[in-house]
A and B are shown apart, each in its own frame.
Chain A
Amino acid sequence: MKVSVIVFPGSNCDRDIKVALTASLGSAPDMVWHGVTKLPETDLIVVPGGFSYGDYLRAGAMAAHSPVMREVVVRANAGVPVLGICNGFQILTEAGLLPGVLMRNAALKFICKDVFLKVENANTIFTSGYYQGQVIRIPIAHHDGNYETDCETLDILESNGQIAFRYCDKMGELTEDANCNGSLANIAGITNHSHNVLGMMPHPERQIDLLQGGTDGKALFDGLLNSVV
């Protein structure tokens, strides 16, 4: 299986994702610079976190128009799985691959901590390593993770099973307190309509080894690689 990790100027989770993918896959992914116009043959594309282009204009706005993103959009529309984490999620919304937008956190603060997530749809290639309703602990580290969309789109997300993860408390309750950044309907991660594109604010690649305090993130990569092969 071949994986491509897109690297932008300002990406800073690309090496972490490489470690996570290598651990699950057994071989290293291709690291693809944003300036290329041709992607290698690939079974999975990962858009990592960071601060591409220094978050100029809007988080993800500049990266979404990088040369390589045209190819990412074409591949995504052809059914190739695309995973966007944190800044990667912001880039995928700006590129039009996912609906909605990530606004400044409601409390205006950069938040870096472990949060609990409820797996809302375990029936996707990205979440097959979890069971429906499972509560997992994954870190977040962002300033703009406050998911927002219109009511009509939210209805579609809900009814089409596109909400992959929601912020919850330790018991899995979707409380306001657990909704760390003020996201609409506690949304932490969504898929596109055909479920081959996932964007999520939390960082599963930072929870793949007991040395990091847990392995809840590893299940995502293991499940994903099993589903895609």
Chain B
Amino acid sequence: MKAKIHVTLKPDVLDPQGKAVQHALGSLGFTGIGEVRQGKYIEIDLCEKDRGIAEENVKKMCSKLLANTVIENYTIEIAE
């Protein structure tokens, strides 16, 4: 099983890196660019066979290490 995790800044947290990317895209001539938010994508191979247990474990990994829940949200997708 594989866990696919997205870690993103909470909507009300300013994202200076996303803003810089937005400006860079604009200066490259790309039009119609709205707000850009930058985050992280993490993949973890899991030995666990039980989907529910796997998801529970990954949740713990996210809240303990992978995301700083003061400023970040995370979403978990468990794929076969």
Q: Residues on A close to B: CB < 8 A?
A: 57-58, 61, 65, 94, 100-101, 103-108, 146, 148-150, 182
Which of B14, B16, B66, B70 gathers the greatest number of chain A CB atoms within 10 Å? Answer: B70
> From residue 56 to 74 of chain B, which have CB atoms closer than 8 A to chain A?
64-66, 68, 70-71
**Are B70 and A101 closer than 8 Å at their CB atoms?**
yes
Residues of B within 8 A of A149 (CB): 70
**Are A65 and B65 closer than 8 Å at their CB atoms?**
yes
**Are A148 and B13 closer than 8 Å at their CB atoms?**
yes
11 residue pairs of the A-B complex, CB under 8 angstroms, read A57-B66, A58-B68, A61-B68, A94-B68, A101-B71, A103-B14, A104-B17, A108-B17, A108-B20, A148-B71, A149-B70
CB distance from B41 to the nearest CB of A (A): 13
Q: Residues on B close to A: CB < 8 A?
A: 13-14, 16-17, 20, 64-66, 68, 70-71
Name the residue on B nearest A105 (C-beta): B16
Inter-chain CA distance A106–B19, complex, in Å, is 10
Inter-chain CA distance A65–B64, complex, in Å, is 9
**Are A100 and B70 closer than 8 Å at their CB atoms?**
yes
Inter-chain CA distance A3–B9, complex, in Å, is 38
Residues of B within 8 A of A146 (CB): 16
8 Å CB contact of A104 from B16, B68, B70: B16
Inter-chain CA distance A58–B62, complex, in Å, is 13
Residues of B within 8 A of A148 (CB): 13, 70-71
Inter-chain CA distance A20–B49, complex, in Å, is 54
Inter-chain CA distance A65–B71, complex, in Å, is 19
CB distance from B68 to the nearest CB of A (A): 6
**Are A103 and B71 closer than 8 Å at their CB atoms?**
yes
